[in-house]
Structure 1
Amino acid sequence: MKRLAILGSTGSIGVQALDVVARSGGRFEVAALAAGSNADLLVEQARRWRPRAVALADPAAARRARELLGPGGPEVLEGAAGVTALASLGEVDVVLAAISGGAGLASTAAAIEAGKTVGLANKESMVLAGELLMRRAAEKGVAILPVDSEHSAIFQSLAGHQRPHVRRLLLTASGGPLRTVPAAELAAVTPARALKHPNWSMGAKITIDSATLMNKGLEVIEARWLFDVDPRRIDIVVHPESIVHSMVEYVDGSVVAQLGVSDMRGPISYALAWPERIPLELPALDLPRLGKLTFEAPDPARFPAFMLAYRALELGGTAPAALSGADEAAVAAFLAGRCSFTRIAEVCAEVLEALAPEPVGSVEQALAASDWGRRQAERRVAG
């Protein structure tokens, strides 16, 4: 039985991970749960799963959880330090890193340092400090198992093959809510329009990143470090049906793909149960009903944001972290009505070109670079 720490348990990935645990037939024990500020849901989860400890990043929420759980409940830790401490618990075998944004980096790093297997659902960890984290994981003998559907698909498509035989990684993208909008109309796109994703209901930040294709750029950065592949051998393919989750092309021209219905419980279960698979009773993939699958090349002239990720990898060091921070600020400004849709990519490009990259030697340095990018973007939006 694997003992799990689920960091970000009240978010979408965390809730679905607990559903996977419920369907697993007793294969997992929930040893720890962590969340941001949703004390009520965390308490409900703690009563159901009886972990040894829980944590809330918001101290006020942690106090509420203590009151609700009472003296007979699990230990309740608080603040960022409390969340990070759960990643290092001796009773934990696998840490599911599902805290969104840069806030998840410290706990992901702590899990690696403690020698835990990491199910990685926090792409920002790899974007901000991928080279550092993968180096430490190799030194510690830690497996980092991707949970993002695209990276899980690549991980599965690489199984049983030799890495020198890989020619390209092909990351698929839905194309987002603005895929067919004419270029002349993009500057006038409103937040309400950009938030209408055709396939999924997601948080505002990731939905806007899907609309700009910045999310694919960030996934290129993540793939570069997770799979140790030169960025020039990572391509993006727009696939509106979101059935082919990603592909690997080999030197003999063969392409291995992972297909399935769009349900995150699939990649979550694969990461938690690896190297085994567990039955989930999800809807079957009905290809005859679908009829056809379509693919397109992304258009950098209309959606330049994803190309900035390649530029950040070319610059190296702190550049990806600065890009991530700049994107957070620019997206927030767009959602608040303080900049246009097309200005998001422009601001991020300006921040990258203003940066003097440095090698990333610590988590703190990566977070500082992200903060620098955020501040620089805020100044450019305001100016």
Structure 2
Amino acid sequence: MKKISILGSTGSIGTQTLDVVAMHPEAFEVEGLAAGSNTKLLLEQVRKFNPRRVSVATKELAEEIKSSLPEGVKLYSGKEGLTEVAAGGEADTVVTALVGSVGLQSTLAALEAGKHIGLANKETLVTAGHLVTELAARKGVKLLPVDSEHSAIFQCLNGENPKDVASITLTASGGSFRDYTRQELENVTVEQALRHPNWSMGAKITIDSATMVNKGLEVIEARWLFDLSYEQVHVLLHPESIIHSYVEFRDSSIVAQLGTPDMRVPIQYALTYPDRWESPAKRLSLSEIGKLTFKEMDFDRFPALRLAFECGRAGGTATTAYNAANEIAVARFLRGEIAFLHIEEIISEVLQRLEIVAYPNLEQIEHCDQTTRELAATL
């Protein structure tokens, strides 16, 4: 029986991970659950899956739920709580389903403790890719991608020689506003931005999909996961989200991974790799789909994606700043403080103002992250 801990258990990826666990109760044991402030759902999860360790966002929330927990469950809070759930206990695999760079410290702690990582928190590699991949290699543990695009690439590369890879292509749905012009984006609302046509995701990721920042983060993540140059990473608009991504090899052969849009498939594969088990996902019928469409990526229409490539090539803390500026800008948009197009403008302005550290240590990364957030909050 595989023991797992989930960071971000009440979010979209976390709840779907527990769907997979519930479908295979004979195969998985939940060691730990870390959530934010949704204590009602967390307590439901605790009663159903009986974890040994639980963490919430604050000490105050921990006090509120303390008396509701079954006897013997260890309760933690804050950043320290994330680390305890990630690195403590007997989990074999830690699913990092947190949103944002808050997942970095706990992921590093889990790696240091020798845990395999089911990686859904792309910001970890965007913020500190060199530190994370170096530590994983040193500890001999796996970084198993949970994002549908990276899982697709991972599956396409099974059994292949990495030297034979010519390029990879990440597909993008285009998000809520894929058919809008730049002019039409000027007055869009939060409610409109949160209506993703294909996927059911949390608010922040849905906004990132609409700006194409999410794809930018995935480009940077792919560079680290698969040890590629940015010249080898491409993005293609594919509105149906059926081809999740593909690999072109040097002999011109292309291998793609297809399926219905259901995150439980890549989540389950990360937990069962290298085996494949029965899945709750609907099976794909290409005859029902009828046709698949594709468009070249327009970097003038989606400048945030262009910025991601530029930051990736610049390296160092450029990608840290890209992510941190976006997190603040998205939060401000969701609160109604700024317009939709201001998100990418804030990211661009921050990047122009900050000095980049070429090969940062953890302290320098954290300093860049904090400085960027403070600046992005004022623009």
User: Is the structural similarity TM-score above 0.5?
Assistant: yes
After TM superposition, give the deviation of residue 379 of structure 1 in Å.
Answer: 2.2
1:140-166 per-position Cα deviation (integer Å, ceiling 9, x unaligned) = 111000001111111011101010000
Output the CA distance in 1 between the equivalents of 2:75 and 2:25. 28
Give identity over the alignment, percent: 51
| Equivalent-residue separation in structure 2 for 1:192 and 1:281 (angstroms) | 30
CA distance in 1 between counterparts of 2:194 and 2:29 reads 37
- Contact persistence 2:264–2:280 (CA under 8 A): no
User: Structure 1 residue 296 and structure 2 residue 286: aligned?
Assistant: no
The match for 1:152 is 151
CA distance in 2, matches of 1:336, 1:100: 17
Alignment partner, residue 191 of structure 1: 190
Partners of 1:40 and 1:138 lie apart in 2 by 38
Instruction: Output the TM-score relative to the length of structure 2.
Output: 0.96
Detail structure 1 runs of 4+ shifted over 6 Å in the superposition: none
Between stretches 330-339 and 59-68, larger displacement belongs to 330-339
Moved more, 321-330 or 114-123: 321-330
* Superposed CA offset, 1:94-148 (max 9, x none): 1111111111111111111111100001011011011110011111111000001
Partners of 2:89 and 2:196 lie apart in 1 by 41
Cα distance, 1:53 vs structure 2: 1.6
SS at match of 2:13: helix
- Asked whether 1:46 is paired with 2:56, we answer no
Q: Which residue of 1 aligns with 2:30?
A: 30
Aligned pair count?
379
Task: Give the distance between the partners of 2:329 and 2:33, measured in 1 at CA.
Answer: 32
Query: Counterpart in 1 of 2:322?
Result: 323
SS in 1 for 2:341: helix
Amino acid at match of 2:257: Q
* 3-state SS, counterpart of residue 87 of structure 1: helix
2:373 is equivalent to residue 374 of structure 1:
yes
Aligned mates of 1:186, 1:193 — CA distance in 2: 10
The equivalent of 1:272 in structure 2 is: 271
Say if 2:328 and 2:373, in contact at 8 Å, map to a contact too. Answer: yes
RMSD: 1.5
Q: Equivalents in 2 of 1:377, 1:251: separation in Å?
A: 42
Paired position in structure 2 for 1:336: 335
- Give the 3-state SS of the residue equivalent to 2:223 in structure 1: helix
1:55 counterpart residue number? 55
Equivalent residues of 1:322, 1:369 under 8 A apart: yes
Matches within 5 A, 1:125-204: 125-204=124-203
Q: Does the 8 Å CA contact 1:102/1:367 hold for their aligned counterparts? A: no
C-alpha separation in 2, matches of 1:371 and 1:134: 23
Q: Which residue of structure 2 aligns with residue 81 of structure 1?
A: 80
Deviates more, 1:363-372 or 1:345-354: 363-372
- Rounded to whole Å, the distance in 1 between the matches of 2:211 and 2:265 is 26
Residue matched to 1:65: 65
Between the aligned partners of 1:367 and 1:116, the Cα distance in structure 2 is 23
Q: Does 1:20 align with 2:16?
A: no
Match of 2:8 in 1: 8
Query: What is the TM-score when the length of structure 1 is the normalising length?
Result: 0.95
1:210 lines up with 2:215 in the alignment: no
Kindly provide the CA deviation profile for residues 43-84 of structure 1, in whole angstroms up to 9, marking residues without a partner as x: 2211212122211122122122221015x2411122210220
2: CA distance, partners of 1:336 / 1:41: 24
